[in-house]
Amino acid sequence: QVQLVQSGAEVKKPGASVKVSCKASGYTFSSYTMHWVRQAPGQRLEWMGWIKAGDGDTKYSQKFQGRVTITRDTSAITAYMELSSLRSEDTAVYYCARSLLGEPWYDYWGQGTLVTVSS
Amino acid sequence: DIQMTQSPSTLSASVGDRVTITCRASQGIDNWLAWYQQKPGKAPKLLIYKASSLESGVPSRFSGSGSGTEFTLTISSLQPDDFATYYCQQFNSYFGGGTKVEIK
């Protein structure tokens, strides 16, 4: 069965960086795009960017351009999202979610990773 | 950017009620719209894609319709498991603000 398992909760200080991992199993990793979506407390879902797991091509939301980097390791069947220059407003649950190449909807999601930014 | 507006933001209903949630796009998006259900502390779950296609395993009481700028998600007979927050999402991955379905 398809599973996306994310790394555990993180607490970071303002200005630091965080890297969240998402390990995939149960499907052909390279045939899908992996997205990262975050949700601040009480807020709507917010798309951050994606990576095509096959060729590593990436696209980022303009809001996060320059601060977010999405990578993948095909041998580890894992995608990563790194967010730098953290501020308190980045406190949120971060999700990975997959979509079939060329389709914009997410059929499987990770369990979410809470990132707390606090001094 | 194409903005997505959902209404209502909160909806109070009883088990067995027919429930309709609306999502409006600021520009036409053809049928490139999905609906998700999210329960507290859980990841969203895909219900409907391409505006009206039911995701595998999703109960048939859920249905979607619309194209262009106006879309609806309908739950034909609300069940206890359906009390949750529902989000629409357009093709550029932007989400609506959510509709919380509460027990009346």
> What are the pLDDT digits (tens) for A51-72?
999 999 999 999 998 999 999 9
* pLDDT of A101 strictly over 90: no
Q: Which positions in chain B touch A37 (Cβ < 8 Å)?
A: 93
Asked if A109 and B45 come within 8 Å (Cβ–Cβ), the reply is yes
What mean pLDDT comes out for the span B77-83? 95
Per-residue DSSP letter, A43: -
Residue where the block lists tokens 């199993």: A25
Under 8 Å between Cβ of A60 and A68: yes
The pLDDT score that the predictor gives to residue A112 is: 98
The pLDDT score that the predictor gives to residue B91 is: 85
What mean pLDDT comes out for the span A69-76? 97
Find the range with the poorest average confidence among A19-23, A78-82, A113-117, B89-93: B89-93
What mean pLDDT comes out for the span A93-111? 94
Non-local CB neighbours of B102 within 8 Å, separated by 6+ positions: B10, B11, B12, B13, B83
Q: Quick one: tokens of B32?
A: 């490139």
Angstroms from A112 CA to nearest CA on chain B? 7
Among residues 21-80 of chain B, which lie with CB inside 8 Å of chain A?
A: 32, 34, 36, 38, 42-46, 49, 55
Task: Provide φ and ψ at A75, rounded to 5°.
Answer: -70, -30
The pLDDT score that the predictor gives to residue A18 is: 98
* pLDDT of B104 strictly over 90: no
| CB-CB neighbours of A85 under 10 Å | 11
Q: Which positions in chain A touch B29 (Cβ < 8 Å)?
A: none
Asked if A107 and B97 come within 8 Å (Cβ–Cβ), the reply is no
Question: Chain B residue with minimal CA distance to A37?
Answer: B93
Q: Which positions in chain B touch A36 (Cβ < 8 Å)?
A: none
Backbone CA torsion sign across A11, A75, A2, B44:
positive
User: CA B68, B61, A26: angle at the middle one, nearest 5?
Assistant: 85
* pLDDT of B1 strictly over 90: no
The pLDDT score that the predictor gives to residue B84 is: 97
* pLDDT of B93 strictly over 90: no
Task: Indicate the Cα dihedral angle B34, B35, B40, B43, nearest 10°.
Answer: -30
The pLDDT score that the predictor gives to residue A103 is: 87
**In chain A, helix, strand, coil percent, each to 5?**
5, 50, 45
Average pLDDT over chain A reads 96
The pLDDT score that the predictor gives to residue B16 is: 96
* pLDDT of B2 strictly over 90: no
